[in-house]
Amino acid sequence: MKFINRASEIKSLQNEYDKDGSSFVILYGRRRTGKTTLLKEFIKNKPAVYFLGDLENENIQIKRFQEISAASLNDNFLKKINLVKLDSIFEYIAEKFGRSDKKLIIIIDEFQYLYKVNKAIPSIFQRIWDNNLKDANIMLVLCGSVISLMYETALNYSSPLYGRRTSQIRLHPLKFKDYGKFFPEIDNNAKLLEFYALTGGIPKYIEFIEVKKDIYSNINDNFLNKNSFLYMEPKFVLKDEIREEATYFSILEAISSGEHKISNISKRLMLEAKNITSFIEKLIEMEILEREVPVTEENPLKSKRGLYFIKDNFFRFWFKYIFPYMSYLEIEQYEFVMEKIKKDFHVFTSFVFEKVSKDFLMEQKAPFEIRKIGRWWDKDKEIDIVALSKNNEAIFGECKYWKEKVGLNVLADLKEKVRYVENKTGFKHTFFAIFSKSGFSEELTELSKKDENILLYSLDKMF
């Protein structure tokens, strides 16, 4: 897998490595985000032991850990001696290598599998850390893909390991600004955005994109084909995290079909709202769902105006176009499903464009430091992007994923909606931002040159 960016995560790991004495890092995040690739990049040219946990018998895994450690440390004695406990192996490693000038890194990847094999594993590693590693020049990294189990085993207050870590890193999907680095041969942001709408920022999924083919050929090969890797991927991602698959999938399908209020979602499932709250919270924890409130709300957590959206691009596409039509795909009626996709894929991608525009504003071009950013809506009015500063400045933005250039009428409509917001909330300074897939009319471009409060951003020049 190609290693792209992750500069902040590499820096965090390096800071832990450069510390005097021991370090204990918890690295976690959903499957396929590139945790293993990150760790292997980090340990290049450093003394390290990398061990991948699985669901084998515990004694077999202990023996395998001993063999891998012996090979990585080039220690023939460790290879030959009979050690039957993890404690003994770590004790040996700490005594022989824990006083070296160069810090040793020990990585336990897929840590949650060790826990599934032996529920006492957090207590065992607590003992190993306290007795052998905390006073040694060793960096221990526990890495896991099942977020709920990583909380339970390493991050939760009730875990024996709680309070012992020196750092924790949650690895998130990559943003669009780094997406093009996977495809240096593509200099067209519109084409990149279509691919990003399919895969999101998950490195493993990005690998399946073939740039020589158009978007629909990629969809056909990687999503509609029932033998493809991605066809059943959401089921595999969720299987370790959830128990009641039917309820989770029904919630996601309801949201993908346009139900965003919890009351409407519950009605569609014929369940009381209180009975689906825990399911929704779990999906938010996994970064599959997100809750939005109008950005001007003073108490977002208590707001009753919250709406729920599928945050992850890949899951959003799958639940909109694959899951509802699996009966057709199983009997290879691909053309029927493809017609459904072609009918409104530009609308689907337009929502991704809004998110990308929001990220762009946050990371690149805002005329002030943004305190919070989001959408705004009230009754029949909606503004795609509203960014606020701590000094009560505001940017109001519209995103137009059109084939045509955007003209003065869009600016006029935006200003009309902004007046409605300003009647309720006064701002010291207001900017108007328009994001366009296809550029702007000459009249709007000329006006923006005369008025510094009008900000124009074209997709082909973003990032």
pLDDT tens by residue, 294-304: 998 989 988 99
Instruction: Name the CA radius of gyration of the chain, rounded.
Output: 25
Name the band, by pLDDT with cuts 50, 70 and 90, for residue 317.
very high
For 36-61, how does the pLDDT look when each residue is reduced to its tens digit (9 = 90+)? 999 999 999 999 999 999 999 999 99
In whole angstroms, what is the distance from residue 133 CA to residue 137 CA? 8
Determine the pLDDT at residue 26. 96
Instruction: Please list the residues that pair with 406 across neighbouring strands.
Output: 440
Q: Are 139 and 80 in contact (CB under 8 A)?
A: no
Confidence of residue 426 (pLDDT cuts 50, 70, 90): confident
The yes-or-no verdict on residue 1 having pLDDT over 80 is no
pTM as predicted: 0.90
User: pLDDT class for 146, splitting at 50, 70, 90?
Assistant: confident
Amino acid making up residue 38? L
CA pair distance 158, 455, nearest whole angstrom? 50
Average pLDDT, stretch 149-172?
91
What pLDDT is recorded for position 405?
A: 97
Q: Report pLDDT for 423.
A: 67
Tokens standing for 364?
């690149």
Lowest mean pLDDT among 28-32, 105-109, 205-209: 28-32
Using the predicted structure, report yes or no on whether residue 72 has a pLDDT greater than 60: yes
Q: Mean of the pLDDT values across residues 244-253?
A: 92
Structure confidence by residue, pLDDT tens digits, 262-295:
999 999 999 999 999 999 999 998 889 999 999 9
Pick the more confident residue, 147 or 127: 127
> Is a pLDDT exceeding 90 seen at residue 192?
yes
Q: What pLDDT is attached to residue 370?
A: 93
120, exposed or middle or buried, with CB in 10 Å at 0-12, 13-18, 19+?
middle
* C-alpha to C-alpha distance for 410 and 221, rounded to whole angstroms: 38
> HEC states along the chain?
CCCCCCHHHHHHHHHHHHCCCCEEEEEECCCCCCHHHHHHHHCCCCCEEEEECCCCCHHHHHHHHHHHHHHHHCCHHHHHCCCCCHHHHHHHHHHHHCCCCCCEEEEEECHHHHHHHCCCHHHHHHHHHHHHHCCCCEEEEEEECCHHHHHHHHHCCCCCCCCCCCEEEECCCCCHHHHHHHCCCCCCHHHHHHHHHHHCCCHHHHCCCCCCCCHHHHHHHHHHCCCCCCCCHHHHHHCCCCCCHHHHHHHHHHHHCCCCCHHHHHHHHCCCHHHCHHHHHHHHHCCCEEEECCCCCCCHHHCCCCEEEECCHHHHHHHHHHHHHHHHHHCCCHHHHHHHHHHHHHHHHHHHHHHHHHHHHHHHHCCCCCCEEEEEEECCEEEEEEEECCCCEEEEEEEECCCCCECHHHHHHHHHHHHHHHCCCCCCEEEEEEEECCCECHHHHHHHHHCCCEEEEEHHHCC
| Alpha-carbon gap, residue 134 to 123, rounded angstroms | 15
pLDDT over 90 at 13, yes or no: yes
Is it the case that residue 349 has pLDDT exceeding 90?
Answer: yes
pLDDT of residue 2: 63
Q: In the prediction, which pLDDT does 392 show?
A: 87
> Is the per-residue pLDDT at 23 higher than 60?
yes
Give residue-wise pLDDT tens across range 356-376.
999 999 987 788 999 999 999
pLDDT > 90 in the chain, percent = 83
Average pLDDT score, the chain = 93
Rounded average pLDDT over 81-89: 94
CB 294 within 8 A of CB 378: yes
- The token pair at 128 is 């190993």
Determine the Cα–Cα distance for residues 180 and 207; give it in Å rounded to an integer. Answer: 13
pLDDT at res. 380:
87
**Domains of the chain, each with CATH number or no CATH:** 7-170 (3.40.50.300), 178-352 (1.10.10), 366-461 (3.40.1350.10)
Mean pLDDT of 246-260: 94
pLDDT in tens, 205-246: 999 999 999 999 999 999 999 999 999 999 988 887 888 889
Report the phi/psi class of residue 136: left, alpha or beta, with left for phi > 0 and alpha for psi in -120 to 50.
Answer: beta
pLDDT at 341: 97
- Decide if pLDDT at 143 tops 60: yes
| Distances in whole angstroms, Cα of residue 37 to Cα of each of 43, 50, 210, 251, 459 | 10, 12, 21, 32, 30
**327: exposed, middle or buried (Cβ count in 10 Å: 0-12, 13-18, 19+):** exposed
